[in-house]
Structure 1
């Protein structure tokens, strides 16, 4: 399988000593990888590192088998991302925003903008100013921007915040179609653990900046437990190890 993203001993520590330490993982073509962990565990830091928004203190990031720092522009042409909460210029329309995003990528046409707006259910409001959008509508627009360039890898940080039931179904449909039909790889950080259980073929658990467990969902849940039960067990095991020490 082609490797889309690989990190080796990735470390980033802030002044308050939070961050991540020695995280090594690999995403192959078509993977839908869920990143689980408590608030402040380091998930967003990891996503910022692999999208080049911040630089690591130590370790290596390989994107499409090339070093991210040495080949940043070439690599990011094939990456779509949504990191932290969606933030927009409220005085422009959704269509204008996606046209602006499209300038950073090759071959994004007006037809493609229409396609993604239809996919996320915003085509009827494409000419409305973003300031009139609800939180859920802004999340949909952020997802539209992430998939706009037909990326090989999509990185999403809490992408379902603010979505209603219809929005959740739409999100799941888009991820499944892109991964299964087009072979798109996804790295998704989310607290919506039931959604991740339905979507992901692999998951990793980050606690206190360390990747404490990862693997295929099918193997991790072989005993009949849910992903939520698995996750809680991993957190409790971690607490138990620390209390013994």
Structure 2
């Protein structure tokens, strides 16, 4: 795509692409690991799609990549690739017990949230995760820190019965604005200590800002992505609001 079309500078019209668009480094890393694993010729399984892109998943399937919903579908042997969202430790242990080799493609930023949640929980803090409870990343975080509570808006934070020390972390793709509101609501409470750890991915922030800014300056805005992708849906919401 030429620069005029991309930036919309040809007579004020054209196709403009929001800053930060594209696949994040965590997913790119997972794709590289999947490609490398497939070179061995062994079966490579993944609990859920590696990326919310049907065309890319079809391409990987042609090389032997298998998306499964349960470890029962893996049969005996082969490899299990943990996608960038991460996976609950109990599921990983079960997979190893079934003879599956583990390829860990957990995004390093997601791993940081998991580690923080464990450390904070072990330190005696009440861990609150700002995120969507059904999302695989959040389920994996709670798998590491089972006592953590998940909330997805500021009103849910206000309804929580809290005391003592509290720590707030976030799903890496969570809304920065909503996270700030939650942190402010916690600081208004009469608590011994409120620790706020902003674990939102910087690329997510850049992508959301770029999409929202562009949506305010164009006649029509398209958000291209998987319908079941949290990232895509959040971008669509932000753009629609503009």
Q: Give the alignment's TM-score, normalised by structure 1.
A: 0.28
Q: Which has the larger radius of gyration?
A: 2
Q: Which has the higher relative contact order, 1 or 2, with Cα contacts under 8 A spaced 6 or more apart? A: 1
Q: Give the alignment's TM-score, normalised by structure 2.
A: 0.28
Higher fraction of strand: 1
